[in-house]
């Protein structure tokens, strides 16, 4: 068990969507510092990338933006790390299903390979990483606080 850095969890009284787009976004913009910051957040919440000032990892926007970026990286992660296919997504799969399959080992792999520094995760899908902030619906995990031994 890794203790929470911020002992008090914020009670926002907001909807789940608002707690992500307003409260968590405010935290990421005001309290997370550094030019190396890369946030990972629920795959199905791609619009969150517009609310934060930080760089983001693995969003559907990589495919659907005006000028798609990171297509090769996205395809590699999609097919190899997530073991997914376009066919599976079209035939009843979902971004939510993929997100729920992401575990601590995969996050640590992405930390090593893509330098992810923070994970935003729903409270009902907890991780055993240091918590920098939380509210009624989400926690922000700070992977920079893990020892390097966690990467092995």
Quick: pLDDT tens for 124-147: 999 999 999 999 999 999 999 997
Query: For the chain, what is the mean pLDDT?
Result: 82
CA distances (Å), origin 43, targets 70, 98, 119: 15, 8, 11
pLDDT of residue 69: 60
The pLDDT confidence band at residue 36, using thresholds 50, 70 and 90, is: very high
Identify the sign of the CA torsion 110, 112, 115, 121.
Answer: positive
The pLDDT confidence band at residue 3, using thresholds 50, 70 and 90, is: very low
pLDDT of residue 1: 36
Q: What is the pTM of this model?
A: 0.81
Q: Which residues contact 116 (CB under 8 A, 6 or more apart)?
A: 38, 39, 40, 57, 107, 110, 143
The pLDDT confidence band at residue 8, using thresholds 50, 70 and 90, is: very low
């Amino acid at each position: 068990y890794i203790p929470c850095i911020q002992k008090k969890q914020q009670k926002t009284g907001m909807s789940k969507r608002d707690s992500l787009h307003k409260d968590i976004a405010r935290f990421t913009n005001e309290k997370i510092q550094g030019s190396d910051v890369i946030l990972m957040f629920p795959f199905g919440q791609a619009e969150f990338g517009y609310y934060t000032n930080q760089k983001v990892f693995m969003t559907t926007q990589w495919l659907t933006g005006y000028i798609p970026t990171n297509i090769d990286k996205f395809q590699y992660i999609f097919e190899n790390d997530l073991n997914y296919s376009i066919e599976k997504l079209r035939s009843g799969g979902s971004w939510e299903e993929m997100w729920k399959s992401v575990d601590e080992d995969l996050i640590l792999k992405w930390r090593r390979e893509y330098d992810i520094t923070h994970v935003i995760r729903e409270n009902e899908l907890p991780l055993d990483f240091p918590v920098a902030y939380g509210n009624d619906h989400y926690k922000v995990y700070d992977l920079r606080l893990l020892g390097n031994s966690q990467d092995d």
